[in-house]
């Protein structure tokens, strides 16, 4: 019996277990059926769970990539791989009015030849700004390969702040590097040309007149005058300089940090000879500069004399050279990877341990500088570091594989076979002194729609997310990147970037200064001088002021508009029908739109960005009168309403007041909760409350207006202002409820 | 003992079960740990599994959406919600050279005023072409709200084919509708204006001179002359017409199908009065037309007389009106939904059962036409149908909810609370006679980063994917849509669209005709006439021919380039440094780039699209000589190599020949396999084989070249041609291996 009971116990336990299994199976049933329906295996489900972003979740990293031929910057998130933004850099971008409003057009024009608006750019490898070799999340830099321009983007508002055209190069390598405290942003030429638009004969004057060069753009960081902490650093052309070089084709380059600070390493080739170059950009600054086309140049003869630039021959062409996070080594690879000892290279350059030259540039002795070599496979494209000590990832193009190997022991660690030929690599924080792990992205440039739709003769770029959190690599997501030829990305921890949500009222966002065209509510006006018309207007839910503008055919018209909103994501847009202008007005921004009113007629203008339920009310009209026009009728006045219409507006008004009172009850209950729970102790909650109160402050005028119009029996105006007041209330209530939710979460923690 | 054995058996079974549970738990462990780390619940995992796209998987649907202010069309896939493409429509798009090459610039210019290049557009609600009310996957239509343009896109190559500017309207509603066999594409004005750039006084002449109107653009479908089945239908301006209307603000509209064919229903308002309009566009065609600005117009007085246009008063403003899939009803909604009986409306219009008028437009009697009403909540934005009989989805903006309800029984079926205020809705195939189910997308225009990164003062649009496959709705994915103000989408079954992968050689892809600038290999040439220079060039891995072009300062230069490739996704790009031109050359395409060479100097040109491992070799130089320049040296000739260099090239050549022989072995084995397994029986496999053989055909010249140069001891040329030959081989091998894989899968099925 004892056995029996024991057995019974076991049986009961087993029954219990069966129940557990069954209930588990039932819970899993839907997942199982989805797996079956969609053809997913366990690995797929795991991959899906690793990239899916739940409600309230946040991507761990911001990533930035150049779009190639679109001339725009792309912002995406890791690990969701969702694209958040395209930002105009080297080409006009209509959505945010870049190259459509006067202020941003000026940014592009300053970076173009002869005051033209250069509309095409080719950008590939960005660099993030650094403090002590760590990403500081403040700025992003880009080089335009097609037109030899360089650009600066602010990461607190994700806008392009500066574009400069190179005064000497015709064509640039489409990548940049920064020194460890952003002292310099480096840019090099790609294909050699005579400088400064001088001409030359390819056959007879190639060696004498064609040149290459590397430019150190001086960068100065600063915050805005308003003291908001908004970063307005700029590259200073007058303090920048270029080293003149013989006609090498220059490629990818990287800057040493820490002990390697002061040296730039890059790829160079001449005919069928391939090199890594090393460039001592600190030492070169002691040399005398000459001015060429108003730009400081170190003549090659002087640079050669000083031994600041030298070549390390390598056997085959390479596509990447990267300095490791400790700057102990730098690595380049074609089929073989070469690990160079940074100390030895510095010493050899200092000692001028040269052996021969190419086009007058001294050669260092490769074998003396090499720490070691590793065979990786057929055609390595790129290298990337993560936080694993001395580990580097390599993409091997023709072998369709990734190889992780140890550059200290020179041993292969892990090989991962891919379904595609891998291109450029990226690890989060990978080009800084503190690379992270977990994720590796790999560009797939020949994606023959493995799991993608066929979109005709030309396809997007693809970017694969590789999970490198464990020893075994896994390809967990294929991202499509539209309107882009994707090359390199950079990625930084989400929390390093501190995006602002509004500007000080009246900000010219391209300069960071308060615009002289700033207009506040009640001070809207139209100024004329001859055929020049300036409209100083405002945008706020749900009015464009002024609502009617009258000009004469041939007038040059500028709308200077200020968005008066303080609420989060409360952007207004503005366009005038058929005149091709467009502005995006984020809260606090002032921008100007200029055009010649060369066609008479009536042209509606309107808010182009959905801003509230009354968005469609945000419209007005531009009357362009034929030259010499005399109005046949009265002055522009109000259209009289019928009694029936008036009664309808009165009813609408009264209905709205009921809703307003209900909404106020919600606001009151939220306010009570917030006060009772000391919301001031929680900074982010407090910020939300300030935002909410801001809304109510703005609402005061609307309330005064609707009460006044109601008293006067002007029911249409009373209704419209009541509607406007309610819009503010709703925004207040929304923000308040978010604050309440956040506060309750904070309290329960 | 019997009991004991029984118990033991039970115990063993239970042990076995425990083992199953444990092994299952171990298998699940990683998913469990991922869930824990990433804060996912079971619902999240299920959602992730429903949208994740496994290797070899395909999205079920193509979806298309207008980008608002970018003037581009966006292509995304359901359910992965990945964006595949941005296509330039109303604004230039650099990536694909739209508005940068001559052919596409002409498309935009034809749709602009006075031959200008209008660069801004505002597009929101697209319509797909139909055959018998079903999507046929051939064309897509768009209206430009800002500038009153209409555009046609081809869906076999995803390119914009035609843009027309409205000859009368200044501003258009940014949506279109098509009749059930694409006889007409409908476009309406939005804000009233005087037509044709005539001016008027707002105060005194609003009712007399301001107008609204609806245009029926005649559409003619046809295939290309080359007989490839490439669709080249066009809108015919001369056969289109507009009905003149008093100054109503017009909104969303939809076309009846089946029994409802011939009627258009839409939204109209005047001051604070709101209506649904009904328009009999078939009957109106019997009326006499007048020509206004060379465009056919039905005068309002005649239309009024014939009773072809009438208003149905509704109480509040609405944002959407949709005809149900059977055309038995049409529905509009604000807080209340109104279901109108289509038959009753048609009969009332035929019988002219009017009661009063607004601005001369007769009013129908709402209550006589109403099938029923349903209270839905505070501010309905949109309506969408799926294949559930008589069911409609409504987004209720202020209540943050979706409501599914039955428009036959007028009963609410299911309410789904959202975390955001919902905007426009879309179901796959939803605006056709055969809507599908499973998915519903909802636009979130005020996304305050619920699970998104903060990207500064202005944010992207968000689009939520709702799983409607079961009775209970689930929000399973939040998609970010960069560079767009998103409104409505349309979506069609993946297999309905038949994308092409190459064009007949020398195609002007905008007209569908063979370009007169088509150039084949060996016939490249430069033609001059005065200061006009035409370059007839070709692009093929890895050469741009010609490689050197010499012109004089001030010359007007056109590069007419033909991509000779036949391989899939083998696009080349082309730009000339600092001249701001760019072309995207898909296989077979011919396009032209024109610019004035107004600066002397040496300007590299290069392929801007990664095309093969030898992509960087695809470059050349444009020499712009100062006026009157006389070459100081010899004719352009070859640079002489040193003996050392020559030896190096010889070695490279010999190494390459070894690789070529190895690659040939791979090709041979694949060919053997394919032949032995009757690949011709499988059409897609056969297509791949043809593609592969195409590659080898192209390779013949390269082989002849490298053998000849090797025989002559010209090792550099021999090496470069051998490299090129190998590129073809690799492509052949790649395509061949894909064919082999596919064939083996087909055989095993």
Element (H, E) at A9: helix A2-38
CB contact under 8 A, A48 and B49: yes
pLDDT at B557: 98
Question: What pLDDT score does A2 carry?
Answer: 54
pLDDT at A566: 84
Predicted confidence band of residue B29 (pLDDT cuts 50, 70, 90): low
What is the distance, to the nearest Å, from the Cα of residue B613 to the centroid of all Cα atoms in its chain? 30
Mean pLDDT over residues A299-317, rounded? 95
**Res B637: pLDDT:** 43
Nearest to B120 by CA among A483, A96, A111: A96
Nearest CB among A8, A35, A203 relative to B7 is that of A8
Q: Which residue of chain B comes nearest to A318, CA vs CA?
A: B613
What's the pLDDT tens digit per position in A27-40? 445 899 999 999 99
Q: What pLDDT score does A737 carry? A: 76
**pLDDT tops 70 at residue A8:** no
Question: Which residue in A has a C-alpha nearest to residue B4's C-alpha?
Answer: A4
Confidence of residue B119 (pLDDT cuts 50, 70, 90): very high
β strands within A524-611, DSSP E: 525-529, 532-540, 543-545, 548-552, 556-563, 572-576, 583-585, 590-596, 601-606
Q: What confidence category does residue B2 fall into, taking pLDDT thresholds of 50, 70 and 90?
A: low
Alpha carbons within 13 angstroms on the beta-carbon side of residue A379 total 11
Distance in Å, alpha carbon of B99 to nearest chain A alpha carbon = 10
- What does the block give as tokens for B225? 């002359």
Q: A286 to chain B, minimum CA–CA distance in Å?
A: 32
Highest mean predicted confidence (pLDDT) among A669-673, B277-281, B696-700: B277-281
Give residue A19's pLDDT band: very low, low, confident or very high (50, 70, 90).
Answer: very low
**For A449-460, what is the mean pLDDT?**
87
- pLDDT value at B482 more than 50: yes
Provide the pLDDT for residue A342.
Answer: 96
Q: How far is B326 from chain A (nearest CA, A)?
A: 30
Helix (H) or strand (E) holding B274: strand B273-280
pLDDT score recorded for residue A206: 84
CB A45 within 8 A of CB A474: no
Q: Is A542 a residue whose pLDDT tops 80?
A: no
**Across all residues in chain A, what is the average pLDDT?**
90
| A624 touching chain B per CB within 8 A | yes
Percent of all residues in chain A with a pLDDT value above 90, rounded to a whole number: 69
| Record: contact B170-A39, CB cut-off 8 A | no
Would you state the pLDDT for residue B676?
86
Confidence band for A13, pLDDT divided at 50, 70 and 90: low
Q: B140: Cβ–Cβ under 8 A, 6 or more apart, which residues?
A: B64, B73, B126, B127, B128, B129, B152, B153, B155, B490
How many residues in total does chain B contain?
A: 749
Give pLDDT, residue B749. Answer: 54
Average pLDDT across chain B, whole number: 90
- With contacts defined as CB-CB under 8 Å, which chain A residues touch B466? none
Say if A741 is an interface residue toward chain B (CB within 8 Å).
no
pTM: 0.86
Which pLDDT score, from 0 to 100, does residue B18 have? 47
Contact check, Cβ <8 Å, B62/A148: no
Interface check for A501 against chain B (CB to CB < 8 A): the answer is yes
Chain A segment 113-152 residues within 8 A of B by beta carbon are 113, 116, 118-122, 146-148
If DSSP codes are grouped into helix, strand and coil, which group holds residue B492? strand
CB contact (8 A) between residue A113 and residue B31? no
Instruction: Find the range with the poorest average confidence among A632-636, B286-290, B735-739.
Output: A632-636
**Nearest chain A alpha carbon to B192:** A604
B14, B652, B730 ranked by CB distance to A10: nearest: B14
Q: Closest by alpha carbon to A57, among B417, B477, B474, B399?
A: B477
* Record: contact B199-A4, CB cut-off 8 A: no
Find, in chain B, the residue whose alpha carbon is nearest to that of A597.
B197
B39/A contact by beta carbon, under 8 A: yes
pLDDT digits (tens, 9 = 90+) for B364-398: 999 999 999 999 999 999 999 999 999 999 999 99
| B642 at interface of A, judged by CB pairs closer than 8 A | no
- Partner A, chain B 513-532, Cβ-Cβ below 8 Å: none
* pLDDT (average), residues B156-165: 97
CB within 8 Å: B621 and A34: no
pLDDT at A175: 96
Q: Does A474 touch chain B (CB under 8 A)?
A: no
Q: Among the residues of B211-317, which ranges form H helices?
A: 300-306
> What is the predicted pLDDT for the residue at B628?
77
Q: Which helix (H) or strand (E) holds A62?
A: strand A61-66
Is the pLDDT at B213 greater than 80? The verdict is yes
Count of residues making up chain A: 749
User: Which of A443-457, B102-116, B449-463 is predicted with the least confidence, judged by mean pLDDT?
Assistant: A443-457
DSSP state of B164: E
Give the span between the Cα atoms of A553 and A626, in whole angstroms: 5
Query: What residues in B contact A91, CB-CB < 8 Å?
Result: 94
Mean pLDDT of A727-731: 74
Give the residue-averaged pLDDT of B547-568: 94
Region B25-38: mean pLDDT is 76
Does B147 score more than 80 pLDDT? yes
Tell me whether A387 touches chain B (CB under 8 Å). Answer: no
Q: What is the token pair recorded at A378?
A: 């057929």
Question: Are the CB atoms for B114 and B165 separated by under 8 Å?
Answer: no
Chain A residues within an 8 Å CB radius of B31:
42, 45-46, 49
Q: Are B312 and B345 in contact (CB under 8 A)?
A: yes
Question: What is the mean pLDDT of the segment spanning B250-274?
Answer: 95
Query: In this predicted model, what pLDDT tens digit does every residue of A50-106 receive, in sequence order?
Result: 999 999 899 999 999 999 999 999 999 999 999 999 999 999 999 999 999 999 999
Question: How open is the CA angle B17-B22-B23, to the nearest 5 degrees?
Answer: 100
- Do A91 and B94 count as a contact with CB atoms less than 8 A apart? yes
In this predicted structure, the answer to whether residue A692 has a pLDDT above a threshold of 90 is no
Question: What span, in angstroms and rounded, lies between the C-alpha atoms of A275 and A332?
Answer: 10
pLDDT at B506 > cutoff 90:
yes
Kindly state the average pLDDT of the residues B539-548.
89
- What is the per-residue pLDDT for B25? 43
Min CA distance, A672 vs chain B (Å)? 23
Is this complex scored with an ipTM above 0.90?
no
**Tokens at residue A528, please?**
């004329």
pLDDT, position A27? 42
Question: Is residue B684 over pLDDT 70?
Answer: no
Residue A13 sits at the chain B interface (C-beta within 8 Å): yes
The per-residue pLDDT for range B635-680, each reduced to its tens digit, is 444 456 778 778 888 888 998 898 888 888 888 888 888 888 888 8
Look at A604 and B191 and tell me if their CB atoms are within 8 Å: yes
pLDDT of residue A618 exceeding 70: yes
Across A597-611, A636-650, A659-673, B484-498, least confident range: A636-650
* Residue A483 contacts B where some CB pair is shorter than 8 Å: yes
Q: Do B499 and A455 touch (CB under 8 A)?
A: yes
Name the more confident of A6 and A489: A489
Q: Average pLDDT of B540-546? A: 87
Q: Which residues 80-109 of A have a C-beta within 8 angstroms of B?
A: 82-86, 91-96, 100
Q: State the Cα–Cα distance between residues A191 and A212, nearest whole angstrom.
A: 7
pLDDT of residue A510: 96
| Residue B224: pLDDT band with limits 50, 70, 90 | confident
Residue that wins the pLDDT comparison between A673 and A281? A281
- The pLDDT of residue A630 is 66
Given pLDDT bands bounded at 50, 70 and 90, which one contains residue B196? Answer: confident
Answer yes or no: do A483 and B86 touch at CB < 8 A.
yes
| A115: DSSP letter | G
Q: Tell me how far apart the alpha carbons of residues B366 and A67 are, in angstroms, rounded to a whole number.
A: 54
Pairs from B518-522 (Cβ < 8 Å, separation ≥ 24): B518/B562, B518/B590, B519/B560, B519/B561, B519/B562, B519/B590, B520/B562, B520/B564, B521/B545, B521/B564, B521/B701
């Amino acid at each position: 019996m004892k056995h029996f009971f024991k057995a019974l116990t076991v049986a009961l336990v087993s029954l219990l277990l069966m129940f557990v299994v069954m209930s588990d199976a039932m819970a899993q049933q839907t997942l199982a059926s989805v797996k079956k329906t969609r053809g997913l295996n366990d690995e797929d489900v795991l991959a899906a769970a690793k990239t899916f972003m739940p409600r309230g979740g946040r991507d761990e990293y911001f990533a930035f990539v150049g779009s190639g031929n679109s001339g725009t910057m792309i912002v995406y998130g890791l690990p969701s791989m969702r694209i958040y933004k395209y930002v105009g850099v080297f080409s006009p971008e209509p959505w945010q009015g870049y190259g459509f409003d006067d202020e941003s057009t000026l940014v592009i024009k300053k970076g173009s030849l002869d005051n033209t608006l250069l509309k095409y750019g080719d950008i590939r490898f960005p660099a993030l700004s650094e403090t002590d070799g760590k990403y500081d999340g403040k700025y992003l830099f880009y080089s335009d390969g097609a037109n030899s321009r360089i650009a600066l983007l602010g990461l607190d508002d994700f806008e392009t702040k500066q574009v400069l055209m190179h005064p000497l190069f015709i064509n640039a390598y489409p990548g940049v590097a920064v020194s460890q405290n952003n002292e310099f942003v480096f840019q090099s030429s790609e294909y050699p040309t005579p400088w400064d638009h001088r001409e030359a004969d390819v056959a007879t004057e190639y060696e004498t007149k064609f040149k290459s060069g590397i430019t150190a753009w001086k960068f100065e960081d600063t915050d805005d005058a308003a003291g908001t902490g908004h970063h307005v650093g700029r590259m200073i052309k007058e303090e920048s300089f270029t080293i003149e070089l013989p006609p090498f084709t220059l490629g990818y380059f990287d800057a040493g940090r820490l002990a390697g600070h002061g040296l730039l390493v890059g790829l160079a080739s001449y005919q069928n000879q391939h090199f890594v170059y090393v460039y001592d950009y600190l030492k070169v600054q002691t040399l005398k500069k000459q001015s060429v086309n108003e730009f400081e140049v170190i003549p090659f003869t002087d640079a050669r004399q000083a031994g600041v630039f030298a070549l390390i021959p390598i056997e085959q062409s390479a596509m990447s050279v990267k300095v490791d996070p400790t700057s102990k080594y730098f690595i380049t690879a074609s089929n073989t990877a070469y690990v160079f000892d940074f100390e030895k290279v510095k010493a050899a350059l200092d000692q001028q341990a040269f052996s021969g030259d190419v086009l007058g540039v001294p050669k260092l002795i490769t074998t003396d500088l090499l720490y070691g070599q590793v065979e990786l496979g057929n055609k390595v494209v790129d290298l990337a570091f993560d936080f694993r000590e001395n580990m580097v990832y390599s993409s091997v193009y023709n072998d369709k594989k990734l190889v992780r190997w140890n550059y200290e022991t020179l041993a292969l660690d892990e090989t991962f076979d891919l379904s595609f030929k891998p291109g450029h690599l990226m690890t989060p924080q990978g080009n800084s002194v503190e690379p992270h792990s977990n994720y590796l992205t790999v560009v797939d440039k020949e994606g023959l729609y493995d799991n993608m739709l066929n979109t005709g003769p030309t396809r997007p770029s693809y970017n694969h997310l590789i999970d490198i959190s464990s020893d075994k690599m896994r390809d967990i997501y294929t991202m499509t990147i539209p309107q882009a030829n994707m090359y390199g990305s950079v990625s930084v921890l989400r929390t390093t970037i501190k995006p602002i949500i509004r500007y000080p009222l009246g900000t010219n966002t391209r300069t960071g200064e308060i615009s002289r065209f700033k207009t506040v509510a009640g001070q809207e006006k139209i100024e004329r001088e001859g055929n020049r018309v300036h409209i100083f207007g405002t945008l706020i839910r749900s009015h464009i002021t002024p609502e009617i503008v009258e000009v004469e055919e041939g007038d040059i018209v500028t709308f200077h508009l200020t968005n008066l909103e303080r609420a989060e994501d409360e952007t207004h847009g503005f366009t005038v029908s058929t005149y091709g202008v467009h502005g995006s007005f984020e809260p606090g921004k002032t921008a100007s739109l200029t055009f010649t009113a060369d066609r008479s007629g009536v042209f509606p203008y309107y808010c182009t960005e959905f801003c509230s339920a009354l968005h469609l009310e945000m419209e007005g009209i531009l009357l362009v009168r034929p030259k010499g026009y005399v109005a046949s009728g009265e002055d522009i006045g109000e259209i009289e309403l019928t009694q029936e219409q008036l009664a309808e507006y009165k009813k609408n008004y009264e209905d709205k007041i009921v809703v307003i009172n209900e909404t106020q009850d919600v606001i009151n209950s939220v306010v009570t909760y917030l006060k009772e729970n000391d919301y001031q102790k929680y900074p982010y909650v407090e910020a939300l409350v300030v935002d909410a109160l801001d809304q109510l402050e703005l609402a005061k005028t609307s309330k005064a207006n609707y009460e006044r119009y109601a008293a006067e029996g002007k029911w249409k105006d009373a209704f419209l202002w009541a509607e406007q007041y309610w819009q503010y209330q709703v925004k207040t209530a929304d923000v308040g409820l978010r604050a309440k939710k956040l506060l309750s979460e904070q309290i329960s923690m």
